[in-house]
């Protein structure tokens, strides 16, 4: 039995555009119900696509061993997630620990939504009980169970040397490039948020900028004087006229005047 992720158009806003279907095009209902729920919650499309592929990976593993895409409460055992982790670690090459944890977390939430009354799936050798204080800091500590996750290596952050920083800044030749980097460094914008900016999103008299972020949420950000000066210089001296609504466009090459 084969499964895949498809992107469907024309669905209602309450349905995820990404669906997990079998070889006949029929929906895998328990997965798509979870994706629809996340869609209603306002999760971004890119995140829905990631959820769909994580659940697809689990479904292929499950259907290979169980010979069915359906999951019942009785079929889930305490070792289900642990067996799924063993399967991933046993691959050659194995996926990164962060990928394993992300997949397990997504499947765990989907199955908890599908079977809210099911007993908690635990792996005694991997999990342990601990006392957890209330988030507001009142009341007695209550017992809680750690999540079933594999150990992720610690990321070592090595700061750039002074010469490397100087070479980085000297590599930019235009106000456009400096403005893009400045918006990401000084204002915390993601690269996709910078590329999605339109000309009318920048309010120069108010020194503000309207940003469309994750989950299609709009926020207003104040612009520093340095970023504002670079944007004004780019708009007045570098940006080609009549090149559409996008704020940042290509300044050279065969695609000049496009994003």
The domain that holds 180 is classified in CATH as: 1.10.443.10
Residue 247 belongs to a domain: no
| Domain CATH number, residue 65 | 1.10.150
Q: How far apart are CA 117 and CA 241, in angstroms?
A: 61
Residue 246 near residue 259 (C-beta atoms within 8 A): yes
The pLDDT tens digits for 95-139 are 999 999 999 999 989 998 998 877 666 666 666 666 777 777 777
The answer to whether residues 13 and 95 belong to one domain is yes
Asked if pLDDT for residue 142 goes beyond 90, the answer is no
The pLDDT tens digits for 167-180 are 988 898 899 999 99
The answer to whether residues 175 and 108 belong to one domain is no
Domain that holds residue 47: 3-121
Residue 243 belongs to a domain: no
The answer to whether residues 109 and 23 belong to one domain is yes
Residue 228 belongs to a domain: yes
- Band of residue 145 on the pLDDT scale cut at 50, 70, 90: low
Residue 134 belongs to a domain: no
The answer to whether residues 72 and 169 belong to one domain is no
Strand segments (E) across 137-236: 142-145, 202-203, 208-212, 218-222
The answer to whether residues 169 and 117 belong to one domain is no
The answer to whether residues 169 and 112 belong to one domain is no
The answer to whether residues 117 and 187 belong to one domain is no
| Highest mean pLDDT of the ranges 57-61, 211-215, 248-252 | 57-61
The answer to whether residues 112 and 183 belong to one domain is no
Q: How far apart are CA 237 and CA 220, in angstroms?
A: 26
The pLDDT tens digits for 190-238 are 998 999 999 999 999 999 999 988 777 899 999 999 999 999 999 999 9
Q: How many CA atoms, within 13 angstroms, populate the side-chain half-sphere of residue 106?
A: 25
0.75 surpassed by pTM: no
The answer to whether residues 48 and 110 belong to one domain is yes
Report how many domains make up the chain: 2
The pLDDT tens digits for 29-54 are 999 999 999 999 988 888 999 999 99
- Band of residue 254 on the pLDDT scale cut at 50, 70, 90: low
The answer to whether residues 13 and 82 belong to one domain is yes
The pLDDT tens digits for 86-97 are 999 999 999 999
């Amino acid at each position: 039995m084969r499964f895949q992720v498809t992107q469907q158009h024309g669905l209602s806003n309450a349905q995820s555009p990404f669906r997990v279907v079998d070889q006949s095009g029929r929906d895998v209902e328990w997965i798509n119900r979870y994706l629809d729920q996340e869609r209603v919650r306002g999760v971004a499309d890119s995140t829905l696509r990631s959820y769909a592929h994580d659940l697809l990976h689990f479904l292929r593993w499950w259907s290979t061993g169980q010979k069915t895409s359906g999951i019942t409460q009785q079929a889930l055992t305490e070792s289900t997630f642990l067996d799924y982790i063993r399967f991933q670690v046993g691959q050659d090459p194995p996926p990164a620990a962060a990928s394993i944890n992300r997949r397990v977390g997504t499947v765990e939430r989907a199955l908890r939504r599908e079977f809210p009354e099911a007993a908690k799936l635990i792996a005694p050798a991997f999990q342990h009980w601990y006392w957890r204080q209330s988030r507001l800091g009142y009341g007695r500590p209550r017992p809680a169970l750690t999540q079933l996750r594999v150990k992720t290596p610690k990321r070592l952050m090595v700061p750039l040397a002074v010469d490397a920083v100087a070479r980085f800044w000297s590599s930019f030749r235009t106000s456009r490039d400096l403005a893009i980097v400045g918006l990401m460094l000084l204002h915390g914008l993601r690269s996709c948020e910078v590329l999605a900016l339109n000309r009318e999103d920048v309010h120069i008299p108010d020194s503000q900028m309207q940003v469309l972020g994750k989950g299609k949420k709009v926020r207003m950000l104040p612009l520093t004087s340095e970023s504002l000066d670079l944007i004004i210089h780019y708009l007045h001296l570098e940006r080609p006229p009549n090149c559409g609504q996008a704020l940042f466009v290509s300044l050279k090459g065969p695609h000049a005047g496009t994003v």
